[in-house]
Structure 1
Amino acid sequence: MGRGKTWTAALALAVAVGLPAGAWAGNDTDDDIIVGFATGKSGILQAYDQPAEHAAKIRIEEINAAGGLLGKQIQIVDSDTKSDRNEGVKAGQAVVDEGADIVVVTCDYDYGAPAAGVAQDEGLISFFLCAEDVKAGIEGIGPYSFSASVLAAVQGATMAEWAYNKRDVKTGYVLVDTSVEYSKSVCYGFEWMFPKVGGKIVGKDGFQNADPSIASQITRIKSLPEVPDAIMLCTYNPGGASAVKQLRAAGIDSLILNGSSLDGSYWLAAVPGLSDFVVPVQGSIYGDDPDPKVEAFNKKFEAKYGARPGSQYAYPGYVLIDVWAKAVERAGTTETEAVVAELEKMREEPTLFGPRTFTDKLHHQNITTYKIVEATDGKFGYVDEWTISEPVPMEILFGGVQN
């Protein structure tokens, strides 16, 4: 039985043996508060999970140094999912068995859901490190599950509105990686917003992240009467770098837009001199963020781990500990229902990487201000920021534009 549930059993026992009800306060009778990380410390998700987990642990250190949470120190327990869904169940159970008060799970919904499901069954809060599919929350896991990042559809919608207004992009071609929900959701947002602002989608095609070639898709793009102003590429690495390389090698010089998953200079060597490639981010890792507090965090991260964050996906890890700890302090307990209630009261809650809002209908962000970074001559840099004109509707989050 998870610690989120044990307080009720403990209370019943207290009453049965004649102790006053106030003698039991669930998790708060423990000496420490425990955060369990059931994340990918190896395998394909390590590149996403570990920077976010490192950032989360920085926030935990800051809280502990300031006196702790509810006057207690936060302790950490870890288990490796090995970027495997089956191992995710084991990892989630392992941190629960070690007394976790909250279970932090992997960045991706598909891979993080097994551990999050364990937490839900045990009556514990789960927080996805940076999952951006709407199902990584109430809809796919249950009422105790949250994500610290911003919905993928918001990324696509941001790219659509920004490109139309700031780069005069009037025609777009959608190229979607159908291997995971994240990529499909990015394109849902673009396909919803781009026609709303006046853009025209001139074609759509799909591929799988593991496909060695997108030659047939490129042929269809080049067969269009006119080259589209932009390619909305919805994918992630390693397939993302391969797709970009093939597009440019085929002579397609259109502006390429993508979600946040292709932030980071670690892959740019695969496409030497890449330009006109744009992604939305929650903060810039490149030393040029307009908010000096973001760069101060980047330097703190580097001092602790020996390198700067590799992408913007470090930042949601910091955010999740920040908002959860605020909710615990306001609730005066780590008991699940009380903390969830405080999280769901948050409206534009300030964090280092932008405000967060949670409701009893949505445990994600369906609108935010994104920083815009662009690759020019093989280097990323901050160029702008943008807030979409309206939140992404729930029906778009769940299935995109219905034709």
Structure 2
Amino acid sequence: MKHALIASALTLALASPAWASEDITVGFAIAKSGWMEAYDTPAAAAAKIRIDEINANGGLLGQQVKWVETDTKTDRAQSAKAGLQVLDDGADMMVVSCDYDFGAPAALAAEAEGKNSFFLCAEDVKAGIQGVGPNSFSGSVLAAVQGATMAEWSTHQRDAKTGYVLLDTTIEYNKGICTGFDWMFPKAGGDIVGRDTFKNNDASIASQISRIKALPQEPDVIMLCSYIPGAAAAVRQLRAAGIQSMILNGSAVDGSYWLDAVPDLSGFVLPVQGSIYGDDPRAEVERFNTAYEAATGARPASQYAYPGYVLIDLWAKAVARAGTVEGSAVTAELEKMQNEATTFGPRSFSDTLHHQNSANMQIIEISGATPAVVDNWTISEPVPLDVLLK
């Protein structure tokens, strides 16, 4: 009997690698340390929730989906090494950092092997065909769409006629927001009456505020293209100077964690892919928020968890339709997706753009320091590729 058990155990041990090789493997080459960790970890947690759901429903192509993970340490050189590591660990598809600059080195390693890569939440057009190659995609909505959404929504829903553009030139994401606003605001009937720039770590924007106050009339809206902490500092100074214009921004400022820096803030509006505040009109979004809390111990701190869930959902659908995880075959199926249903709204890809150049966005307004959904908006036309590439 003892010999039979040993023989049986040996048989299982020898068989295990063959069974493991039948699994489908997703490789996460993401930041688990450094400043990018705050963006990558929530989105990766959401991606793993969708993987668990897929496995609970029988897997993908009759196989279970497992994942391997390596820390890029928010370092570009380490990103390339992390990409190679997860490929060595058997990754069939690679998930990379939210930011294009930090995710691209890993994504390029996947591209070299003919495998698909998905940026967790990059919103720069280069995170895809234009910067990595034909098998690379992003799970998020382009920054230019966020700016265009704010432009069209404010003119149509709040009768904005004049706008002032205040651009934080620190990162490309900010420039993308302003690019979308600059494109849509005049088309929607608005007039951009001035523009200025600053840096995220500037201690003061007093000179910029002086130029706004020197205008014949206060602008209806200020398009602030920035992220925390610079965005919070700019808003605090604008309000302290008595400027009451509605302030618009992109999704990067989603979350209530920064509002203590601007007491009693009102008249601040941003677009998001879904609401973390329990008031999203789509019941499935709140179901995800609850599932995320059960998995991680806390609700999402911002909308940047959501693209991780979306990317696994879309990739898995494409794999099922292709009948394989082979990169070019999956890419072909992803590029056929037009208004593909997801928990956070329809998504589309094409053979020229692996991003969302239009999306239904929930409109969050902060009033009395309390964020809440006040509307939803889809821009009347997608942002053209030539605008995205400016």
TM-score range for the pair, normalised by the shorter chain length: over 0.9
Which of 194, 211, 217 pairs up with 1:203? 194
Mapped partners of 1:28, 1:176: distance in 2: 53
Q: How does 1:174-323 map to 2 (within 5 A)?
A: 174-323=165-314
Mapped partners of 1:177, 1:52: distance in 2: 25
5+ residue gaps, structure 1:
1-26
1:110–1:181 contact (8 Å) kept in structure 2: no
Partner AA of 1:191 in structure 2 = D
* Structure 1 partner of 2:101: 110
Asked if residue 368 in structure 1 is aligned to residue 368 in structure 2, the reply is: no
1:281 CA displacement:
0.6
1:122 CA displacement:
2.2
1:108 CA displacement:
1.3
Q: How does 1:17-56 map to 2 (within 5 A)?
A: 30-56=21-47
Partner AA of 2:24 in structure 1 = I
Mapped partners of 2:19, 2:174: distance in 1: 40
CA 379–103 in structure 1, closer or farther in 2 if over 3 Å, else same: same
Which of 121, 140, 152 pairs up with 2:131? 140
Asked if residue 65 in structure 1 is aligned to residue 53 in structure 2, the reply is: no
Deviates more, 1:131-140 or 1:40-49: 40-49
Deviation readout 1:356-396 (Å, 9 max, x if unpaired):
11111110111111110111111110000011111111111
Mapped partners of 1:159, 1:320: distance in 2: 25
Deviates more, 1:285-294 or 1:72-81: 72-81
Partner AA of 1:82 in structure 2 = K
Mapped partners of 1:398, 1:369: distance in 2: 22
Asked if residue 325 in structure 1 is aligned to residue 325 in structure 2, the reply is: no
TM-score between both structures, scaled by the size of structure 2: 0.93
Q: Secondary structure of 2:324's partner?
A: coil
Mapped partners of 1:93, 1:249: distance in 2: 50
* Structure 2 partner of 1:339: 330
Mapped partners of 1:128, 1:387: distance in 2: 23
Mapped partners of 2:239, 2:74: distance in 1: 31
5+ residue gaps, structure 2:
1-17
Q: Secondary structure of 1:104's partner?
A: strand
Mapped partners of 2:155, 2:329: distance in 1: 44
Q: Secondary structure of 1:93's partner?
A: helix
Asked if residue 161 in structure 1 is aligned to residue 143 in structure 2, the reply is: no
Tell me the C-alpha RMSD between the 2 structures.
Answer: 1.4
* Structure 2 partner of 1:348: 339
Partner AA of 1:97 in structure 2 = D
Deviates more, 1:98-107 or 1:88-97: 88-97
Partner AA of 2:44 in structure 1 = E
Deviation readout 1:40-79 (Å, 9 max, x if unpaired):
2122122211111111010000001111111111111111
TM-score between both structures, scaled by the size of structure 1: 0.90
Q: Secondary structure of 2:286's partner?
A: helix
Equivalent residues, number? 373
1:110–1:180 contact (8 Å) kept in structure 2: no
Q: Secondary structure of 1:265's partner?
A: coil
Which of 115, 125, 134 pairs up with 2:116? 125
1:192 CA displacement:
0.5
Mapped partners of 1:237, 1:68: distance in 2: 39
Mapped partners of 1:284, 1:260: distance in 2: 11
Q: Secondary structure of 2:258's partner?
A: helix
Q: How does 1:379-390 map to 2 (within 5 A)?
A: 379-390=370-381
Partner AA of 2:314 in structure 1 = V
1:28–1:333 contact (8 Å) kept in structure 2: no
Asked if residue 393 in structure 1 is aligned to residue 384 in structure 2, the reply is: yes
1:177–1:206 contact (8 Å) kept in structure 2: yes
- 4+ aligned runs moved over 6 Å, structure 1: none
Q: Secondary structure of 1:127's partner?
A: strand
Mapped partners of 2:86, 2:203: distance in 1: 38
Deviation readout 1:138-196 (Å, 9 max, x if unpaired):
00111011001111111100000000011111111101111211110110000010001
1:29 CA displacement:
9.6
- Matched-pair identity in %: 66
Mapped partners of 1:97, 1:308: distance in 2: 34
